[in-house]
Amino acid sequence: MESSGSSVSGEETGDYGSFWGSPVADLLERIRSYDEDCRLEAAMEIRWLTKTSSKNRRQLADTVGPLVSMLRSGNQECAEAAMLALLNLAVKDERNKVKIVDAGALDPLHFFLKSADPALQEYATGSILTLSASSMNKAAILSAGAIPPLVAILSNGTPQAKIDAAAALFNLSSIPNCLAVILSSHPIPPIINLLKTIKKSSKTAVKCCSLLESLLKFDEARTALTRVKGGVLTVVEVLEEGSIVGREHAVGALLTMCKSDREKYREIILNEGVIPGLLELTVQGTPSAQSKARELLQLLRKSPYRRPEFQADTVENIVCSIVSRIDGDDQVGVAMAKKMLAEMVQVSMEQSLRHLQHRAFA
């Protein structure tokens, strides 16, 4: 996205009027010109002026309408310049975000989301992400039909477009009925495939797991997850290796599955070696993650199917002891719980080693 990774500071860019030496009226006149070259030059100037300056974003808000018109010009170079200028105008400016949508930008952006040109598609995805950060725009973006192309980009877009598409879907998922629309585009396989390729501790992993936690309330999503090769395993990996928030969403996703149908999903989850990570989470997770992890452990340990390598009696005893000690604020109890966790990891070492070998040769 235009606003990130820039080496140009606000001091280098300066406020509008000192940079490029053009008054606002002159720039407005040029962006409204019938001459394409003139408009292109003006759009590029707006892009640079608004790259780091919030003051310039406010002063140049009246260029939004002409820039949106450029998106419909049919000239790819003009559309690209206008998109990047609008993107910079919207960054960290709530009023401009709303103004861009009100000016009719969503229809051309929806068109560019489906573009065969990777650059145009990537810029459009970044623009939708930025606009979706405003709660006032979310319903309009949903109504404009942005969900199906965003899910398609999760599968076929550039690496950056995939990340931005996941973040945009995360932003939109909070509005009513959006989850059903997302689900109808079959998002589970591309979300899992994206999770496999990124750092499990990244912000994108957090957003993907948050999406999964919400989507797994639907039976169709749960079925899709179990059908994706390594789907449940990928969620378990976030539970083990993710950030604090990512681990909370990952355990929430697994808990949602298990609560929906314990008999159907317990063994599927257990087979991915989730127990050590869950036990660690009961000690080191956020309060919400600890609660979810304890609840999931309770569901998993009630399985009637007992395998010798799982050593169910030992696991039950340790889990019950950990849960009872962590329920209080006793620091000695917490320390003992951590010691029990180490014992649990030792108990399940044989299973974990087999699990790691399975991952290595899968």
Q: How far apart are alpha carbons 234 and 203 in whole angstroms?
A: 16
pLDDT above 70 as % of the chain: 77
Judgement on whether residues 312 and 269 belong to the same structural domain of the protein: no
How confident is the model over 48-59, as a mean pLDDT? 93
Confidence of residue 328 (pLDDT cuts 50, 70, 90): low
Residue 263 within a domain: yes
Last residue of one domain, picked from the residues 230, 253, 273 = 273
- Average pLDDT of the chain, as a whole number: 85
**pLDDT for residue 296:** 95
Judgement on whether residues 265 and 205 belong to the same structural domain of the protein: yes
Examine the pLDDT at 325 and tell me if it is beyond 70. no
Judgement on whether residues 323 and 267 belong to the same structural domain of the protein: no
Choose from 15-19, 50-54, 338-342 the range with maximum mean pLDDT: 50-54
Judgement on whether residues 254 and 192 belong to the same structural domain of the protein: yes
pTM: 0.81
Last residue of one domain, picked from the residues 215, 247, 273 = 273
The pLDDT tens digits of the residues spanning 171-201 come to 999 998 999 999 999 999 999 999 999 999 9
Long-range contacts of 305-311 (CB under 8 A, 24+ apart): 305/267, 309/350, 309/351, 309/354, 310/270, 310/275, 310/348, 310/351, 311/347, 311/348
The pLDDT tens digits of the residues spanning 90-140 come to 999 999 999 999 999 999 999 999 999 999 999 999 999 999 999 999 999
Range of the domain at 224: 186-273
Judgement on whether residues 251 and 317 belong to the same structural domain of the protein: no
- Say how many domains are in the chain: 2
| Rg, C-alpha atoms of the chain | 25
- Half-sphere exposure of 240 toward its Cβ, with a 13 Å CA cutoff? 15
Residue 122 within a domain: no
Residue given tokens 């600890």 in the structure block: 290
Examine the pLDDT at 60 and tell me if it is beyond 80. yes
Judgement on whether residues 312 and 246 belong to the same structural domain of the protein: no
Judgement on whether residues 201 and 252 belong to the same structural domain of the protein: yes
Examine the pLDDT at 12 and tell me if it is beyond 70. no
Judgement on whether residues 333 and 268 belong to the same structural domain of the protein: no
- Give the residue from 200, 218, 217 showing the smallest Cα distance to 209: 200
Examine the pLDDT at 347 and tell me if it is beyond 70. no
Residue 297 within a domain: no
Residue 335 within a domain: yes
Residue 200: C-alpha distances to residues 131, 246, 261, 343 (Å) = 26, 8, 27, 26
The pLDDT tens digits of the residues spanning 33-45 come to 999 999 999 999 9
Last residue of one domain, picked from the residues 257, 273, 289 = 273
Residue 252 within a domain: yes
The pLDDT tens digits of the residues spanning 231-255 come to 999 999 999 999 999 999 999 999 9
End-to-end Cα spacing for the chain: 35
Residue given tokens 């999931």 in the structure block: 296
Lowest pLDDT segment from 23-37, 53-67, 192-206, 343-357:
343-357
**pLDDT for residue 76:** 92
Q: What are phi and psi of 114, to 5 degrees?
A: -100, 10
Residue 10 within a domain: no
Judgement on whether residues 264 and 331 belong to the same structural domain of the protein: no
Judgement on whether residues 246 and 317 belong to the same structural domain of the protein: no
Residue 49 within a domain: no
pLDDT above 90 as % of the chain: 73
SS (H, E, C) the chain: CCCCCCCCCHHHHCCECCECCCCHHHHHHHHCCCCHHHHHHHHHHHHHHCCCCHHHHHHCHHHHHHHHHHHCCCCHHHHHHHHHHHHHHHCCCHHHHHHHHHCCCHHHHHHHHCCCCHHHHHHHHHHHHHHHCCCCCHHHHHHCCCHHHHHHHHHHCCHHHHHHHHHHHHHHCCCCCHHHHHHHCCCHHHHHHHHHHCCCCCHHHHHHHHHHHHHCCCHHHHHHHHHCCCHHHHHHHHHHHCCHHHHHHHHHHHHHHHHHCHHHHHHHHHCCCCHHHHHHHHHHCCHHHHHHHHHHHHHHHCCCCCCHHHCHHHHHHHHHHHHHHHCCCCHHHHHHHHHHHHHHHHHCHHHHHHHHHHHHHC
Judgement on whether residues 263 and 217 belong to the same structural domain of the protein: yes
Residue given tokens 């998109």 in the structure block: 83
Q: How far apart are alpha carbons 256 and 227 in whole angstroms?
A: 17
Residue 295 within a domain: no
Judgement on whether residues 252 and 190 belong to the same structural domain of the protein: yes
